[in-house]
Structure 1
Amino acid sequence: MVMVLSPLFLVFMLGLDLLPLALAQDDYRYRHFLTQHYDAKPKGRDDKYCDYIMQNRGLTSPCKDTNTFIHGKKNDIKAICEDRNGEPYGGNLRISKSAFQVTTCKHRGGSSRPPCRYRATKAYRVIVIGCENGLPVHFDESFIPPSQ
Protein backbone atom coordinates (compact mmCIF):
# COMPACT_ATOMS: atom_id res chain seq x y z
CA MET A 1 0.00 0.00 0.00
CA VAL A 2 1.37 3.39 -1.02
CA MET A 3 0.78 6.35 1.25
CA VAL A 4 0.51 9.80 -0.26
CA LEU A 5 1.43 12.61 2.10
CA SER A 6 -0.52 15.77 1.66
CA PRO A 7 1.34 19.09 1.46
CA LEU A 8 -0.52 20.26 4.57
CA PHE A 9 0.79 17.28 6.53
CA LEU A 10 4.35 18.02 5.38
CA VAL A 11 4.04 21.66 6.51
CA PHE A 12 2.70 20.46 9.88
CA MET A 13 5.64 18.07 10.33
CA LEU A 14 8.14 20.79 9.37
CA GLY A 15 6.53 23.09 11.94
CA LEU A 16 6.99 20.45 14.63
CA ASP A 17 10.69 20.27 13.75
CA LEU A 18 11.14 24.04 14.07
CA LEU A 19 9.10 24.46 17.25
CA PRO A 20 11.88 23.32 19.64
CA LEU A 21 14.26 25.83 18.04
CA ALA A 22 11.82 28.69 18.59
CA LEU A 23 11.15 27.60 22.17
CA ALA A 24 14.86 27.27 22.87
CA GLN A 25 15.43 30.81 21.57
CA ASP A 26 12.65 32.16 23.85
CA ASP A 27 14.09 30.23 26.77
CA TYR A 28 17.58 31.60 26.08
CA ARG A 29 16.40 35.22 25.94
CA TYR A 30 14.39 34.76 29.16
CA ARG A 31 17.36 33.15 30.94
CA HIS A 32 19.59 35.99 29.72
CA PHE A 33 17.08 38.52 31.12
CA LEU A 34 17.16 36.72 34.48
CA THR A 35 20.98 36.69 34.52
CA GLN A 36 21.18 40.41 33.81
CA HIS A 37 18.22 41.71 35.82
CA TYR A 38 16.97 39.28 38.47
CA ASP A 39 18.17 38.53 41.99
CA ALA A 40 15.49 36.97 44.17
CA LYS A 41 16.99 37.53 47.61
CA PRO A 42 19.81 40.08 47.54
CA LYS A 43 22.28 40.40 50.37
CA GLY A 44 23.10 43.96 51.40
CA ARG A 45 21.97 45.97 48.38
CA ASP A 46 24.87 48.37 48.94
CA ASP A 47 27.90 49.35 46.84
CA LYS A 48 29.67 46.07 47.70
CA TYR A 49 26.58 44.15 46.57
CA CYS A 50 26.71 45.91 43.20
CA ASP A 51 30.46 45.37 42.80
CA TYR A 52 30.01 41.66 43.51
CA ILE A 53 26.87 40.91 41.49
CA MET A 54 27.95 42.89 38.45
CA GLN A 55 31.20 40.91 38.30
CA ASN A 56 29.49 37.62 39.17
CA ARG A 57 26.93 38.06 36.38
CA GLY A 58 29.59 38.89 33.77
CA LEU A 59 28.68 42.56 33.36
CA THR A 60 32.15 44.01 33.88
CA SER A 61 34.07 43.35 30.64
CA PRO A 62 33.84 46.25 29.91
CA CYS A 63 32.21 47.85 32.95
CA LYS A 64 28.50 48.22 32.20
CA ASP A 65 27.41 51.79 32.95
CA THR A 66 24.06 51.05 34.62
CA ASN A 67 22.15 47.89 35.43
CA THR A 68 19.00 47.26 37.46
CA PHE A 69 18.25 44.10 39.43
CA ILE A 70 14.66 43.20 40.22
CA HIS A 71 14.00 41.39 43.50
CA GLY A 72 11.05 39.14 44.32
CA LYS A 73 9.41 36.22 42.59
CA LYS A 74 9.92 35.24 38.95
CA ASN A 75 6.19 34.61 38.50
CA ASP A 76 5.40 38.18 39.59
CA ILE A 77 7.75 39.49 36.89
CA LYS A 78 6.31 37.09 34.29
CA ALA A 79 2.82 38.35 35.20
CA ILE A 80 3.77 41.77 33.80
CA CYS A 81 3.70 40.13 30.38
CA GLU A 82 0.05 39.31 31.05
CA ASP A 83 -2.85 41.45 32.21
CA ARG A 84 -2.50 40.09 35.76
CA ASN A 85 0.27 42.54 36.61
CA GLY A 86 1.01 44.48 33.43
CA GLU A 87 -0.41 46.89 30.90
CA PRO A 88 0.71 47.73 27.36
CA TYR A 89 3.30 50.51 27.22
CA GLY A 90 4.00 50.79 23.50
CA GLY A 91 5.43 48.26 21.08
CA ASN A 92 6.10 45.01 22.89
CA LEU A 93 6.77 46.86 26.16
CA ARG A 94 4.67 46.32 29.27
CA ILE A 95 4.52 48.40 32.45
CA SER A 96 3.97 46.74 35.82
CA LYS A 97 0.81 47.49 37.76
CA SER A 98 2.71 47.10 41.02
CA ALA A 99 6.04 48.37 42.28
CA PHE A 100 9.01 46.04 42.63
CA GLN A 101 11.95 46.20 44.97
CA VAL A 102 14.95 47.01 42.76
CA THR A 103 18.63 47.81 43.11
CA THR A 104 20.24 49.96 40.44
CA CYS A 105 24.01 49.70 40.08
CA LYS A 106 25.66 52.69 38.43
CA HIS A 107 29.33 52.70 37.41
CA ARG A 108 31.23 55.29 39.45
CA GLY A 109 33.19 56.43 36.42
CA GLY A 110 36.81 56.22 35.48
CA SER A 111 38.08 53.37 33.38
CA SER A 112 35.66 51.05 31.66
CA ARG A 113 38.06 48.17 32.34
CA PRO A 114 37.91 46.04 35.50
CA PRO A 115 38.04 46.36 38.38
CA CYS A 116 34.65 48.06 38.13
CA ARG A 117 33.20 49.99 41.06
CA TYR A 118 29.49 50.69 41.40
CA ARG A 119 27.18 52.90 43.42
CA ALA A 120 23.98 51.18 44.60
CA THR A 121 20.54 52.78 44.73
CA LYS A 122 17.70 50.79 46.23
CA ALA A 123 14.03 51.63 45.81
CA TYR A 124 10.54 50.38 45.03
CA ARG A 125 9.80 51.13 41.39
CA VAL A 126 7.33 50.43 38.62
CA ILE A 127 9.21 48.61 35.87
CA VAL A 128 8.90 48.53 32.09
CA ILE A 129 9.96 45.34 30.34
CA GLY A 130 9.86 43.86 26.87
CA CYS A 131 8.01 40.59 26.48
CA GLU A 132 8.06 37.89 23.84
CA ASN A 133 5.78 34.86 23.92
CA GLY A 134 4.70 35.66 27.47
CA LEU A 135 8.22 35.90 28.88
CA PRO A 136 10.24 38.96 29.92
CA VAL A 137 13.27 39.37 27.65
CA HIS A 138 14.29 43.04 28.02
CA PHE A 139 14.49 45.52 30.91
CA ASP A 140 13.65 48.98 29.58
CA GLU A 141 13.30 51.35 32.53
CA SER A 142 11.95 51.89 36.01
CA PHE A 143 10.53 54.85 37.83
CA ILE A 144 9.00 55.75 41.16
CA PRO A 145 5.26 55.13 40.98
CA PRO A 146 3.06 58.22 41.15
CA SER A 147 1.20 58.77 44.40
CA GLN A 148 -2.36 57.52 44.29
Structure 2
Amino acid sequence: MVMALGPLLLIFMLGLGVTPPTLAQDDSRYQRFLTRHYDAKPLGRNDRYCETMMRRRGMTSPCKDTNTFVHGNKKKIKAICEAKNGRPYGDNFRISTSAFQVTTCKHIGGSPLPPCRYRATAGLRNIVVACEGGLPVHFDESFFVSNKHSTDQS
Protein backbone atom coordinates (compact mmCIF):
# COMPACT_ATOMS: atom_id res chain seq x y z
CA MET A 1 0.00 0.00 0.00
CA VAL A 2 2.79 2.46 0.89
CA MET A 3 4.62 1.61 -2.37
CA ALA A 4 1.47 2.42 -4.39
CA LEU A 5 1.16 5.82 -2.75
CA GLY A 6 4.76 6.75 -3.60
CA PRO A 7 4.16 7.71 -7.28
CA LEU A 8 0.91 9.51 -6.41
CA LEU A 9 2.64 11.47 -3.67
CA LEU A 10 5.43 12.41 -6.10
CA ILE A 11 2.90 13.64 -8.70
CA PHE A 12 1.05 15.61 -6.01
CA MET A 13 4.26 17.27 -4.80
CA LEU A 14 5.30 18.12 -8.37
CA GLY A 15 1.86 19.63 -8.94
CA LEU A 16 2.31 21.87 -5.90
CA GLY A 17 5.64 23.03 -7.25
CA VAL A 18 4.10 23.99 -10.61
CA THR A 19 0.95 25.73 -9.35
CA PRO A 20 2.38 28.78 -7.54
CA PRO A 21 4.25 30.22 -10.58
CA THR A 22 1.05 29.97 -12.62
CA LEU A 23 -0.87 31.85 -9.95
CA ALA A 24 1.95 34.35 -9.57
CA GLN A 25 1.93 34.96 -13.34
CA ASP A 26 -1.81 35.77 -13.26
CA ASP A 27 -1.25 38.05 -10.29
CA SER A 28 1.65 39.82 -12.03
CA ARG A 29 -0.59 40.70 -15.01
CA TYR A 30 -3.18 42.08 -12.57
CA GLN A 31 -0.45 44.05 -10.74
CA ARG A 32 0.73 45.48 -14.08
CA PHE A 33 -2.89 46.48 -14.85
CA LEU A 34 -3.07 48.29 -11.48
CA THR A 35 0.27 50.04 -12.07
CA ARG A 36 -0.79 51.29 -15.49
CA HIS A 37 -4.45 52.07 -14.86
CA TYR A 38 -5.36 52.44 -11.17
CA ASP A 39 -5.07 55.46 -8.91
CA ALA A 40 -7.48 55.33 -5.98
CA LYS A 41 -7.44 58.97 -4.88
CA PRO A 42 -5.87 61.31 -7.43
CA LEU A 43 -4.60 64.71 -6.41
CA GLY A 44 -6.09 66.78 -9.20
CA ARG A 45 -7.03 65.39 -12.59
CA ASN A 46 -5.43 67.95 -14.87
CA ASP A 47 -2.53 68.00 -17.36
CA ARG A 48 0.04 68.17 -14.56
CA TYR A 49 -1.53 65.08 -12.96
CA CYS A 50 -1.14 63.18 -16.23
CA GLU A 51 2.47 64.25 -16.74
CA THR A 52 3.38 63.27 -13.17
CA MET A 53 1.53 59.94 -13.15
CA MET A 54 2.75 58.83 -16.55
CA ARG A 55 6.33 59.52 -15.47
CA ARG A 56 5.88 57.82 -12.04
CA ARG A 57 4.31 54.75 -13.61
CA GLY A 58 7.09 54.34 -16.18
CA MET A 59 5.17 55.21 -19.34
CA THR A 60 7.33 58.05 -20.64
CA SER A 61 10.28 56.32 -22.28
CA PRO A 62 9.05 56.49 -24.98
CA CYS A 63 5.97 58.64 -24.33
CA LYS A 64 2.89 56.41 -24.30
CA ASP A 65 0.26 57.89 -26.62
CA THR A 66 -2.84 57.38 -24.44
CA ASN A 67 -3.48 55.93 -21.00
CA THR A 68 -6.51 55.92 -18.72
CA PHE A 69 -6.38 55.93 -14.92
CA VAL A 70 -9.39 54.52 -13.09
CA HIS A 71 -10.17 56.00 -9.67
CA GLY A 72 -12.07 54.51 -6.76
CA ASN A 73 -12.41 51.09 -5.26
CA LYS A 74 -10.25 48.11 -6.38
CA LYS A 75 -12.99 45.66 -5.38
CA LYS A 76 -15.43 47.32 -7.79
CA ILE A 77 -12.86 47.07 -10.58
CA LYS A 78 -12.21 43.39 -9.84
CA ALA A 79 -15.97 42.79 -9.78
CA ILE A 80 -16.18 43.72 -13.49
CA CYS A 81 -14.76 40.24 -14.12
CA GLU A 82 -17.82 38.78 -12.37
CA ALA A 83 -21.56 39.32 -12.66
CA LYS A 84 -21.35 41.67 -9.63
CA ASN A 85 -20.23 44.65 -11.71
CA GLY A 86 -19.73 43.47 -15.26
CA ARG A 87 -21.25 41.80 -18.27
CA PRO A 88 -19.77 40.28 -21.43
CA TYR A 89 -18.75 42.77 -24.09
CA GLY A 90 -17.54 41.72 -27.52
CA ASP A 91 -15.09 38.86 -27.75
CA ASN A 92 -13.30 38.14 -24.46
CA PHE A 93 -14.03 41.50 -22.80
CA ARG A 94 -16.27 42.72 -19.97
CA ILE A 95 -17.91 46.11 -19.56
CA SER A 96 -18.62 47.58 -16.14
CA THR A 97 -22.25 47.90 -15.14
CA SER A 98 -21.36 50.83 -12.88
CA ALA A 99 -19.52 53.98 -13.86
CA PHE A 100 -16.05 54.94 -12.65
CA GLN A 101 -14.29 58.27 -12.34
CA VAL A 102 -11.45 58.13 -14.87
CA THR A 103 -8.72 60.41 -16.16
CA THR A 104 -7.51 59.83 -19.71
CA CYS A 105 -4.07 61.18 -20.55
CA LYS A 106 -3.25 61.87 -24.22
CA HIS A 107 0.24 62.69 -25.41
CA ILE A 108 0.24 66.12 -27.09
CA GLY A 109 3.91 66.47 -27.98
CA GLY A 110 5.34 65.75 -31.40
CA SER A 111 8.26 63.62 -30.21
CA PRO A 112 7.93 60.25 -28.48
CA LEU A 113 10.97 61.17 -26.38
CA PRO A 114 10.78 62.76 -22.93
CA PRO A 115 9.86 65.22 -21.67
CA CYS A 116 6.33 64.02 -22.41
CA ARG A 117 3.41 66.45 -22.36
CA TYR A 118 -0.14 65.19 -21.78
CA ARG A 119 -3.66 66.58 -21.97
CA ALA A 120 -6.05 65.30 -19.28
CA THR A 121 -9.71 64.49 -19.78
CA ALA A 122 -11.63 63.63 -16.61
CA GLY A 123 -15.03 62.01 -16.62
CA LEU A 124 -17.46 59.41 -15.39
CA ARG A 125 -17.34 56.33 -17.61
CA ASN A 126 -18.14 52.67 -17.98
CA ILE A 127 -14.92 50.78 -18.64
CA VAL A 128 -14.06 47.73 -20.74
CA VAL A 129 -11.42 45.28 -19.52
CA ALA A 130 -10.04 41.86 -20.39
CA CYS A 131 -10.02 39.39 -17.51
CA GLU A 132 -7.92 36.35 -16.70
CA GLY A 133 -8.41 34.19 -13.65
CA GLY A 134 -11.15 36.51 -12.40
CA LEU A 135 -8.86 39.57 -12.45
CA PRO A 136 -8.67 42.52 -14.86
CA VAL A 137 -5.43 42.35 -16.86
CA HIS A 138 -5.99 44.78 -19.74
CA PHE A 139 -7.79 48.13 -20.03
CA ASP A 140 -9.45 48.29 -23.43
CA GLU A 141 -11.65 51.38 -23.62
CA SER A 142 -14.19 53.53 -21.82
CA PHE A 143 -17.51 55.15 -22.60
CA PHE A 144 -18.94 58.43 -21.35
CA VAL A 145 -21.91 58.02 -19.07
CA SER A 146 -24.92 60.21 -19.69
CA ASN A 147 -28.58 60.20 -18.79
CA LYS A 148 -29.31 58.87 -22.29
CA HIS A 149 -26.85 55.97 -21.77
CA SER A 150 -24.68 57.23 -24.57
CA THR A 151 -21.84 55.08 -25.82
CA ASP A 152 -19.54 57.77 -27.13
CA GLN A 153 -16.17 56.08 -27.20
CA SER A 154 -13.08 57.77 -25.87
Fold conserved (TM > 0.5)? Answer: yes
Aligned to 1:53: 53
1:128 equivalent to 2:128? Answer yes
Give distance in 1, aligned partners of 2:105 and 2:86. 24
Q: Deviations over 1:35-57 (max 9, x none)?
A: 00000000110000000000000
The structure whose RCO (Cα within 8 Å, separation 6+) is larger is 1
* Matched pairs, number: 148
Q: In structure 2, what residue type is equivalent to 1:87?
A: R
Deviation at 1:2, TM superposition (A): 5.6
Deviation at 1:7, TM superposition (A): 5.5
Deviation at 1:8, TM superposition (A): 5.2
Aligned to 2:5: 5
Deviation at 1:6, TM superposition (A): 6.5
Query: What SS does the corresponding residue of 1:95 show, helix, strand or coil?
Result: strand
Q: Structure 1: state its 5+ residue gaps.
A: none
Aligned to 2:72: 72
Aligned to 2:98: 98
Aligned to 1:40: 40
Q: In structure 2, what residue type is equivalent to 1:43?
A: L
Contact 1:92 1:132 survives alignment (8 Å): no
- Matched residues, percent identical? 68
TM-score (structure 1 length as normaliser): 0.93
Q: In structure 1, what residue type is equivalent to 2:83?
A: D
Compute the RMSD of aligned alpha carbons.
Answer: 1.7
TM-score (structure 2 length as normaliser): 0.89
